[in-house]
Amino acid sequence: MTRENRWEPEEQKHKNRQPRLKRVVITGLGAVTPIGIGQKGLWEGVKRGTSAVQRITRFDPGAFRSQVAAQVNDFDPQDWVHDGKKLRRMDRFSQFALAAAMMALEDARLDLKAQSNPYSPEEIGCYIGTALGGISYAEEQHEIYLHEGIKAVSPMLALSIFGGAASCNIAIELGLNGPNVANANSCASGTIALGEAFRLIRQGGARAMLAGGVEAPLAPLVYGSFSVIKAMSSANETPELACRPFDRNRDGFVMAEGSAVLLLEEYESALERNAPIYGEILGYGTTNDAYHMTAPLPDGSQAARSMRMALYEAGLTPAQVGYINAHASSTPLNDKTETQALKQVFGELAYQVPISGTKGLHGHALGATGAFEAAICSLIFRHDYLPPTTNLRDPDPECDLSYIKNEGLNRKVDTILSNSFGFGGINAALAFGRVG
């Protein structure tokens, strides 16, 4: 036997060996939402069950068909960044994201500067999704430009409005040299950021990731652009009832703002440092309808396929899903199509598994909402409570599944499926599991 042949079996063994996939757990939550700040504030808002939707006070909405939104009214960025010079370099969009990221680390009991930190800066990255980035700040500065000229415009404008500004500010402030990616996949952005971060850790590309979504869209032109296409609710006299997923009288989504960031870690690393664990991400799926910019594919088949992909990667059958957190945007077309998609995936089980959507509480923060809902799903494992679909009073006959109405359910579940669907036909789903 020649030397070359003698080594061939060993070389072939290495050639065929697949890298061991990592388990990915959620160890920290940070949230800046209309119903509460921090993981504690967010959960208190969920349990309180009171809608945060109100008439807009950020600007005069009188010219618009829609005049309501879910604002974050009690956020002070100086609670998180004490250096005024640094704060002036960031708009509201980046401030939301950085605060949520810092909360997630604090919640996870991970001090990046401590000797006990098991991660090098190169092993931690940041994936943040946002539909519109710093566009509201750009609108504000454009007004200044029109009235006072270019010399009055902030020199930070160009560095504040691009979609990656939030994730880069997080990386700079926290010293993260790992992968840093922003996506702008409409209302699925936060979910996709989490899914891609999950895949990166799972495949060994990073050991920990800060991932989630952020949106700060409450400015006249941005808001008005959605009002013009009649995508938003015009229930201006009863703002607390404006967002009513799966209800017969729903008439559009309600815009919101905020951020949610989760700390994802390799399971083994989290155990070694005795980190608190909410649950784990088990699977992720994303597809595109390739049909229309605003309307979902009528048969819901690609939305259904994203769910099947998430369940397949998770190794779950539909019968093993304990709860579904629906996208539930409160738009006439989307809620009906999501119902059809759920029936395709779950069949008769779709009439039995508990399903709800939480946007009636916190509104629809576009690219951040999937991250809001991922944080809520994580908290469900800790508190064993399934939230109801706020404002679902008169169910649409075409949305006839087992949607939780009125009161939440005190119930322990081991697996959750969460959906996000957005403009452009973008679909995404995440499967979560309890860590026993």
For position 430, what pLDDT does the model report? 98
Centroid of chain to Cα 145: 33
CA 49/CA 35 separation, integer angstroms = 9
Residue 327 designated active-site:
yes
CA 183/CA 283 separation, integer angstroms = 19
For position 1, what pLDDT does the model report? 34
Nearest by Cα to 18 from 265, 202, 179, 178: 202
C-alpha distance from residue 178 to each of 172, 371, 426 (Å): 11, 21, 27
For position 163, what pLDDT does the model report? 93
Residue 364 designated active-site:
yes
For position 6, what pLDDT does the model report? 38
Residue 126 designated active-site:
no
Which string of DSSP letters, residue by residue, matches 215-256?
A: E---SHHHHHHHHHTT-B---TT-GGGS--TTBTT---B-BB
Place of tokens 């119930």: 411
Amino acid at 206: A
C-alpha distance from residue 390 to each of 47, 51, 199, 229, 322 (Å): 11, 8, 33, 25, 20
β-partners of residue 260 are 31, 213
The sign of the dihedral angle between the CA atoms of 46, 245, 307, 371 is: negative
Amino acid at 162: F
pTM of the model: 0.94
CA 380/CA 43 separation, integer angstroms = 9
φ, ψ at 200 (rounded to 5°): -60, -50
CA 51/CA 369 separation, integer angstroms = 15
Place of tokens 């998430």: 310
Q: Where are the alpha helices (DSSP H) in 157-229?
A: 157-160, 165-174, 189-202, 220-228
Burial class of residue 47 in the structure, from the number of CB atoms within 10 Å of its CB (0-12 exposed, 13-18 middle, 19+ buried) = middle
Q: In this structure, are residues 108 and 263 in contact, taking their beta carbons and an 8 Å threshold?
A: yes
Mean pLDDT by 10 residues, the chain (436 residues): 39 56 97 98 98 97 97 95 87 97 98 94 98 96 96 94 95 97 97 98 97 98 96 98 98 98 98 97 98 96 98 98 98 98 98 98 98 98 98 96 94 98 97 95
For position 406, what pLDDT does the model report? 86
CA 408/CA 403 separation, integer angstroms = 11
The sign of the dihedral angle between the CA atoms of 160, 165, 166, 171 is: negative
104-119: b or e for each residue (b if 16 or more CB lie within 10 Å)? bbbbbebeeeeeeeeb
Please give the angle made by the CA atoms of 145, 143 and 156, to the nearest 5 degrees.
Answer: 60
For position 15, what pLDDT does the model report? 52
For position 272, what pLDDT does the model report? 96
Tokens of 39: 């993981």
Q: In this structure, are residues 134 and 161 in contact, taking their beta carbons and an 8 Å threshold?
A: yes
Q: In this structure, are residues 287 and 432 in contact, taking their beta carbons and an 8 Å threshold?
A: no
Nearest by Cα to 409 from 391, 386, 379: 386
Which is the catalytic residue, given 126, 187, 243, 399? 187
For position 100, what pLDDT does the model report? 98
Q: In this structure, are residues 213 and 367 in contact, taking their beta carbons and an 8 Å threshold?
A: yes
Which is the catalytic residue, given 243, 364, 377, 399? 364
CA 212/CA 373 separation, integer angstroms = 10
β-partners of residue 200 are none
Amino acid at 83: D
Which is the catalytic residue, given 126, 168, 243, 327? 327
The CATH code of the domain at 24-433 is: 3.40.47.10
Please report, for the chain, the start and end positions of each structural domain, with discontinuous segments joined by +.
Answer: 24-433
